Structure 1
Amino acid sequence: MATTTSDKISSLKSAVAGLDQISENEKNGFINLVSRYLSGEAQQVEWSKIQTPTDEVVVPYDSLAPLPDDSSEVKNLLDKLVVLKLNGGLGTTMGCTGPKSVIEVREGLTFLDLIVIQIENLNNKYGSNVPLLLMNSFNTHDDTQKIVEKYTNSNVEIHTFNQSQYPRLVVDDFLPLPSKGQTGKDGWYPPGHGDVFPSLLNSGKLDALLSKGKEYVFVANSDNLGAIVDLKILNHLIQNKNEYCMEVTPKTLADVKGGTLISYEGRVQLLEIAQVPDEHVNEFKSIEKFKIFNTNNLWVNLKAVKRLVETDALKTEIIPNPKEVDGVKVLQLETAAGAAIRFFDKAIGSNVPRSRFLPVKATSDLLLVQSDLYTLQDGFVSRNSARANPENPSIELGPEFKKVSNFLTRFKSIPSIIQLDNLKVAGDVWFGAGITLKGKVSIVAKPGAKLEIPDGAVIANKEINGPEDL
């Protein structure tokens, strides 16, 4: 006899009840998520109902109201704000073991150092008290607690809290992996950044912030160097009573997988590639119809978060993420914070400059931000105006450069790339100091050969496979 959904859920409930590593809130949140998933809520959208959002819905950045001149009014704005960085990710893709936010980005400063410097500058300049919240996962919590101690004398209040810890589900019988003896970290997962809203409430942080008169939270990925506080956006939201704003930016061919904003049945919502019917995927990826994508810089009203979480109204799309642990097929169900946009009143997008989206996902991104293409001032990384081309160079580094430690040892210093369009590097390649790369450059070492690019070399529009090509 086939097991029904309600049988699955009741077996799951009794198994989850026995997991003493997690709180009642986490158990309830998890059961709720799995029940929604099993009930097969419609995930796909009806393609014919999709409309392109108007400028009232996705507000052009240039049309946001100018800031007040009076610095006491700016202080009033800042006193309503909290900055929250999503700090649950490990730097594993880049070969690091701790939280990704402690990778050194530039001049010996980490992502976290830069974030603290930026907020400290605001607080010093305006006499405001903008606190920094870090949402950790069980993977990053212990390390982050130690790291934030170094900021005790800074002019920024730093608070940390953990997002939920959910058990991975065994695909065969939909029971939690930890109840089958997998009690180590591999049995668990953090359920995506959509969990930020319930976790803010469950941790007690939300009520504490509201009691201090805080009204808006600016949520961003800790690895997005462009995500600095923007008072024009905050001012606009307060004036227009918008409960939610997603920053979007013009899409290039490199961003084809990013979610986009659409108008759907009278509301603004996020459309992710997973919700797109197969026959429309190419249309979704093109930059003709969908011209913007989600930067995951989000501005959200705190009272609205409390109202929606307490009434269990944030039924955001579920993202099933299949994995394998010790040969066992498991499923982790996740949600994304951007998908919550459709539940907030007067939610909008804002079409912001590309400079507000500068994520470092791989060592190729690190090469860009450590080079002369960017300058660092007051904790803010900005593009060098000497670069004529509005697009960044496209950079492809081979597996030898994938880990940060290997990347750093293979460059004596980061080359000048202001006039570079395209770079491909593969094989056992080593860069000397003071190198300049221009135009289209391909450096591919022959298998088994070591290729050293000498100090001071200037390479323009060249393919190099061995020392004889230099």
Structure 2
Amino acid sequence: MGSPGLAAAVAKMRDAGVDEVAVQTFAHYYRQLERGETGKIPEESIEPVDMPALADAEVSEEDAAAAIRTTAVIKLNGGLGTSMGMDRAKSLLCVRRGMSFLDIIARQILHLRQSYGAPLPLILMNSFRTSADTLDALARYEDLPVEGLPLEFRQNMEPRLLADGLVPVSWPKDPDLEWCPPGHGDIYTALRGTGLLDTLLEQGFERLFVSNSDNLGAVPDAHVAGWFASSGAPFAIEAVRRTASDRKGGHFARRKSDGRIVLRETAQTLPEDQKALQDLSRHRYCSTNNIWFDLRAMKEALDARDGILGLPLIRNEKTVDPSDPSTAKVIQVETAMGSAIEVFEGAQLIEVGRDRFIPVKTTNDLLVLRSDVYEIRDGFTLEQVATDVPFVDLDGDYYKVVSEFEKRFPEGAPSLTKASALRVKGDWTFGPAVQILGDVSLETDAAQRIDAGAVFSDDEVAKA
């Protein structure tokens, strides 16, 4: 098995009952790590990419309905929302009217089944940390499970490695911190290792739609399913035009050496290429993480590679205890789900509207989602009713953690339909029916409460 560090990591995984395909996949990336590979994608090796738009795709109602009837849905649901101070599945966060992300997702699926007479199974890829809470929350939807298919499968786990020596971390006071998920690129390994890929094929499903559970815009839309089915592509990703808020994130490009589409994440970008990464006029598209793939093509690719798809390595450096930067540095070996696009010849990108990309990564995003910028329509889809999505920047000292954020919006979010930006510096508690009009900044050195019905107008800076 090679080095002592790798032997120790493999033994630890096997002792924990990790699937052998996942063990061998981890070993594949460990060897790359040992060789000093970083997974970096130099700017000089890529060029900008263009793509067709979904708005221009002609799909008949018949083709759309036929495609959605042979589509299954997976939601990535392994995240705990630790960056927002959570210790359970982020998808259990309340969005509005007592409904969580999971509630809305379940109701979207049940509505689509009824509309199209489609089985449309919903399966969640949970982590060992999110499984129990998630299944408890979905137990109320008795019609959600599809006979012969599980409601969840588990993301694999792997040892975190000490940056000094690449040996598995030992952390007796919280053994959970010794483990990490292998990134959402693990979905392909887990699908094969659990047998779910074969089961879906046996039951007559032809394609999978995969998306994040914290993106309520990622509805398994029949029109998109029809486009993908008729394209003949083995793999496709929905992309959106990058905005200022996406400047520091990953993007699509085309590799010069072979013409394949690649997804370059921030962690794969060299320091000297950060300026190019952030150039929205050069690299114009980012991933929604809404992914479609042909089940048969995926099985063939995995079988040909002994279960190891060979996605680009992401070397993610953290500390043993994420809340304590003084603890030892560790390396998490990860891969990105979307990077599989470079594996498949004929893979495609399709530009979609921002209505299919409403991610919640911070409490800034959560405030917009809970506000009147969006309305929940028939079928439990979100519709943007504001002309533009406002830029929100809440003071991290008071609003980063969900529990503190909610204390400061006890009556709900302010009206943001006519806002272009809201910047909050300091400790402000919002009363009911507050309105933000245009570009507004609030600044204070001491705790302040905003009265019910207060209106802050364009270019206003309120200091207290």
Q: TM-score, normalised by structure 2?
A: 0.90
Q: Aligned residue for 1:187?
A: 178
Pair 1:454-2:431 in alignment: no
Secondary structure of 1:193's counterpart equals coil
Post-superposition shift, 1:376? 0.5
Q: Aligned residue for 1:176?
A: 168
Distance 1:349 1:375, change over 3 A: same
Secondary structure of 1:245's counterpart equals strand
Q: Aligned residue for 1:253?
A: 244
Distance 1:196 1:464, change over 3 A: same
Q: Aligned residue for 1:376?
A: 376
Q: Aligned residue for 2:432?
A: 433
Whole-Å Cα distance in 1 between the matches of residues 224 and 236 of structure 2? 8
Pair 1:122-2:112 in alignment: yes
Post-superposition shift, 1:436? 1.2
Alpha-carbon contact 1:116-1:156 (below 8 Å) kept: no
Distance 1:450 1:48, change over 3 A: closer
Instruction: State the AA in 1 paired with 2:265.
Output: E
Q: Aligned residue for 1:198?
A: 189
Whole-Å Cα distance in 2 between the matches of residues 176 and 382 of structure 1? 46
- Find 2:222's aligned residue among 224, 227, 231: 231
Q: Aligned residue for 1:463?
A: 461
Post-superposition shift, 1:444? 1.8
Q: Aligned residue for 1:209?
A: 200
Distance 1:60 1:74, change over 3 A: closer
Distance 1:7 1:416, change over 3 A: closer
Instruction: State the AA in 1 paired with 2:393.
Output: E
Whole-Å Cα distance in 2 between the matches of residues 306 and 18 of structure 1? 25
Q: Aligned residue for 2:413?
A: 414
Distance 1:452 1:129, change over 3 A: same
Alpha-carbon contact 1:12-1:174 (below 8 Å) kept: no
Whole-Å Cα distance in 1 between the matches of residues 367 and 38 of structure 2? 42
Post-superposition shift, 1:403? 2.6
Distance 1:425 1:316, change over 3 A: same
Instruction: State the AA in 2 paired with 1:348.
Output: Q
Secondary structure of 1:59's counterpart equals coil
Whole-Å Cα distance in 1 between the matches of residues 319 and 164 of structure 2? 12
Post-superposition shift, 1:18? 6.4
Superposition CA RMSD, Å = 2.3
Identity of aligned residues (%): 34
Whole-Å Cα distance in 2 between the matches of residues 369 and 427 of structure 1? 22
Distance 1:49 1:13, change over 3 A: closer
Instruction: State the AA in 2 paired with 1:59.
Output: P
Whole-Å Cα distance in 1 between the matches of residues 176 and 3 of structure 2? 28
Post-superposition shift, 1:17? 7.0
| Structure 2 runs not aligned, ≥5 long | 322-326
Post-superposition shift, 1:442? 1.7
Whole-Å Cα distance in 2 between the matches of residues 236 and 99 of structure 1? 32
Distance 1:294 1:438, change over 3 A: same
Q: TM-score, normalised by structure 1?
A: 0.89
Q: Aligned residue for 1:65?
A: 58
Instruction: State the AA in 1 paired with 2:380.
Output: G
Q: Aligned residue for 2:324?
A: none
Instruction: State the AA in 1 paired with 2:292.
Output: W
Post-superposition shift, 1:131? 0.3
Post-superposition shift, 1:11? 4.0
Q: Aligned residue for 2:23?
A: 27
Instruction: State the AA in 2 paired with 1:393.
Output: P
Pair 1:283-2:283 in alignment: no
Distance 1:437 1:28, change over 3 A: same
Post-superposition shift, 1:65? 2.3
Distance 1:368 1:52, change over 3 A: same
Whole-Å Cα distance in 2 between the matches of residues 408 and 9 of structure 1? 44
Secondary structure of 2:331's counterpart equals strand
Post-superposition shift, 1:268? 1.6
Q: Which 10-residue stretch deviates more, 273-282 or 456-465? A: 273-282
Whole-Å Cα distance in 2 between the matches of residues 181 and 95 of structure 1? 22
Pair 1:266-2:259 in alignment: yes
Q: Aligned residue for 1:39?
A: 35
Instruction: State the AA in 2 paired with 1:80.
Output: T
Alpha-carbon contact 1:119-1:156 (below 8 Å) kept: no
Post-superposition shift, 1:154? 4.3
Alpha-carbon contact 2:211-2:289 (below 8 Å) kept: yes
Post-superposition shift, 1:173? 2.6
Whole-Å Cα distance in 2 between the matches of residues 17 and 292 of structure 1? 37
Alpha-carbon contact 1:258-1:273 (below 8 Å) kept: yes
Alpha-carbon contact 2:185-2:338 (below 8 Å) kept: yes
Whole-Å Cα distance in 2 between the matches of residues 145 and 305 of structure 1? 27
Distance 1:262 1:434, change over 3 A: same
Whole-Å Cα distance in 1 between the matches of residues 375 and 113 of structure 2? 22
Alpha-carbon contact 1:89-1:137 (below 8 Å) kept: yes
CA deviation string 1:30-63 (max 9, x = no partner): 2222123223457344544423334xxx222223
Paired positions, count: 449
CA deviation string 1:361-385 (max 9, x = no partner): 122212111111111112111111x
Whole-Å Cα distance in 1 between the matches of residues 53 and 359 of structure 2? 22
Whole-Å Cα distance in 1 between the matches of residues 41 and 367 of structure 2? 39
Post-superposition shift, 1:114? 0.8
Distance 1:116 1:427, change over 3 A: same
Post-superposition shift, 1:409? 2.8
Post-superposition shift, 1:98? 1.1
Distance 1:159 1:97, change over 3 A: same
Instruction: State the AA in 1 paired with 2:200.
Output: L
